[in-house]
Structure 1
Amino acid sequence: MKETINFSLCKTDLAKFDGKWDILKNFLKSHNLSGVELFVDQSPLPQLPNELIIGVHLPYWMGHHRAWADNSVFSCEMEEFEKLFMYGGNCREEVISNFREALSNAASLGAAYGVFHVAYSEPGYIFGHEFECTDLDVFKTTADFLNQSVSDFPHGEPPVRLFFENLWWPGLTFLDPVGVLEFTEMLEFDNWAFVLDTGHLIAAVGNCFHEDQGVDAVLNVLSRHCDEFIDRIEGIHLHCGMSGGYVKNKFKGCYDPDNGSMLLEAMKCVNIIDPHLPFTSDRCREIIDFVSPDFLTHEFISLDLAELDYKIKTQRQALHNKKNNNLFNVN
């Protein structure tokens, strides 16, 4: 099993390592990590140390379901960056083109996989449940989008293995084994697997207030699935967040325009539900043993290198029952 951390080319992530790949390489080595899961979109890539890039996370585009169900969304008045962030482009053809570019970028890096969210959420839905939809609705539009996007690649297969990630929004939650099967039967290609996001599944189950409850919730959901599904879970995003029942209708009608951008307010809500905290209990190992993934990403949100260092140490100690008291020194 290869262990990685999530990373991006954003200034905040690069600044943690003074923009120097050698510092990142030494940091990974100090934690016995194989490399990074890098966020990659359609943007041209700079020169990168490919040997550090194990997998990639593809763009989120959390409103892509609505864009496929309602073409008029592309003519809505909104900031250009918000349209790209939510829908992936200014029209369906551009969204498909951008996704193909992202896949090509991932392939050029030699990534073993590319993570993709099968879910729908946008600010209007979070705060007012506008544009209601079901899991099946999201499966249909996502499968159509993916089938069209990969059809132009050789043999109609994506150039990197697509890892479908669970969330707590409408779409792929992993709560319904029948729903998972319905989605996969709509796909017209075979180069895919699943990535289990533990924090997202805990949020989807809800009413978890401490780690033991979270681990039990994850194991309970997994135990309801068939062996074929478990075998297809080839990756794990390991982290936790005990938001209790906060996710269920907590934000409906609570948006105040005086607080600023609805998108930014929505992101604050998401961070409450999904804080990406490290496991501290060695029971997290039970999840890994149940799934036996090929890849494990310690997926955290951190403001600086010291915080990231602490979170990785904490979770790896819980995971491997080995204590590491050494402080990473960039010098």
Structure 2
Amino acid sequence: MIQSISLPLYSDTLREYRDWADLQQEVRALGCDGIEAIWGGEAIPEELPAGLVQGYHLMFFHDWVDLWNGNWPALKEKYGTLEQASAVYGGLGRETLLRQYRDDLERAKRLGAEYVVFHVSDVSMEECFTYRFSHTNDQVITAAVELINELLPGKQWPFAFLVENQWWPGFTFTDPRQTERLLDGIRYANKGILLDTGHLMNCCTELRSQSEGAAYISAMLDRHGSLSAMIRGVHFHQSLSGPYVQSHTGRLPEEWPEEFGQRFSINYAHVLQIDQHRPWTDPAILPVLERIAPTWLTHELTSRARAERVQAVEIQQILLRKRENIP
């Protein structure tokens, strides 16, 4: 199992390390083989060492299906004007999305990533609070398959293309029919699933303990049967946000600003409360992980700085070392 640390290629984060050797040494000390990188919106350093990047998390727009489908009235309602929508997306129309994803795939190729991760979900800022969604899982999957099948053909990409589950409309890994339709629809041989354990837990707001979360993940594997063999990677973290979701969703905040940036800030803080990215400490998850047997495992954990990142990964590595005692 190849292990990585999730790390943005962003100057503020990279400055926490003296140099590339310092980062590589820390990765090895934490029992990992490299990083799962995500672009930070800046030029990628030319001197980034070969082999450091094991995987690459593609950029994502949380709310993109209306743009893909050309639903201009919906975009006007969300952003006030199409000019504001264009400023957010970098343009209007399908080619806007395709161009940006193609550029990101080229970054992944240049960095030598063994796999890339693609979110299959769609949710507006308002829907993050109301939980009243304008698109169904099937509608989002249809749009995602269209986008992926326009994005990937025409080049010999050197990496696996893995779809990641969310708890928003799209691919949730709770409905085998939808999972199968997504995978069957993607015309790319080297494909699979990147199962995010915390995102899957977010689908069930009744969970109150890590052991319950592990049992829920196991139940979803049972439900998917042979489809579970398509899981090739795992984002390893846990999230028990059910009480927060039950008390903070179903309506917009009383003060919901008109200005896009202010709404985004409020929404971002809200989503972080739902998607907690905390370390696993309960060994109940270990048989589930052994059952999945992923090729790649990424420690995708919340941290504000280097020391917190190290501490969070160390907690999970202590747990993973207990796998030797699994019957």
1:294 Cα offset (Å)? 0.3
SS of 2:54's equivalent in the other structure is: strand
Determine the C-alpha separation between the residues in 2 that align with 1:211 and 1:12: 33
1:253 alignment partner, one of 251, 254, 257: 251
Q: Does 1:3 align with 2:9?
A: no
Deviations 1:30-64 (A, max 9, x none): 11110000003786532111211101000121212
Distance change >3 Å, CA 182–CA 277, structure 1 → 2: same
Matched with 1:199 is 198
SS of 1:78's equivalent in the other structure is: helix
Matched with 1:39 is 38
Matched with 2:230 is 232
1:249 Cα offset (Å)? 8.3
* Equivalent residues, number: 313
Structure 1 segment 128-277 matched on structure 2, within 5 A: 128=130, 132-154=134-156, 158-227=157-226, 229-247=227-245, 250-255=248-253, 256-257=255-256, 261-277=262-278
SS of 2:283's equivalent in the other structure is: coil
Matched with 2:113 is 111
Structure 1 segment 48-87 matched on structure 2, within 5 A: 48-72=48-72, 73=75, 76-78=82-84, 83-84=88-89
Matched with 2:306 is 305
Percent of pairs identical after alignment?
27
Amino acid at match of 1:286: P
Determine the C-alpha separation between the residues in 1 that align with 2:218 and 2:13: 32
Determine the C-alpha separation between the residues in 2 that align with 1:152 and 1:44: 26
Q: Which runs of 5+ in 2 are unaligned?
A: none
Distance change >3 Å, CA 96–CA 149, structure 1 → 2: same
Which sits farther off after the overlay, 257-266 or 160-169?
257-266
Q: Which runs of 5+ in 1 are unaligned?
A: 323-331
1:139 Cα offset (Å)? 0.6
Matched with 1:315 is 316
Distance change >3 Å, CA 185–CA 293, structure 1 → 2: same
Determine the C-alpha separation between the residues in 1 that align with 2:40 and 2:71: 22
Determine the C-alpha separation between the residues in 2 that align with 1:160 and 1:95: 20
Determine the C-alpha separation between the residues in 2 that align with 1:109 and 1:237: 20
Under a length normalisation based on structure 1, what TM-score does the superposition of the two structures give?
0.87
Determine the C-alpha separation between the residues in 1 that align with 2:321 and 2:246: 34
1:16 Cα offset (Å)? 2.5
Amino acid at match of 1:179: Q
Which sits farther off after the overlay, 296-305 or 70-79?
70-79
Amino acid at match of 1:141: A
Determine the C-alpha separation between the residues in 1 that align with 2:86 and 2:70: 18
Q: Provide the aligned C-alpha RMSD in A.
A: 2.3
Determine the C-alpha separation between the residues in 1 that align with 2:189 and 2:121: 20
Which sits farther off after the overlay, 37-46 or 263-272?
37-46
Under a length normalisation based on structure 2, what TM-score does the superposition of the two structures give?
0.88
SS of 1:50's equivalent in the other structure is: coil
Residues 126, 252 of structure 2: 8 Å contact kept: no
Distance change >3 Å, CA 44–CA 71, structure 1 → 2: farther
Which sits farther off after the overlay, 52-61 or 40-49?
40-49
Determine the C-alpha separation between the residues in 1 that align with 2:91 and 2:31: 39
Matched with 1:93 is 95
SS of 2:104's equivalent in the other structure is: helix
Amino acid at match of 1:301: T
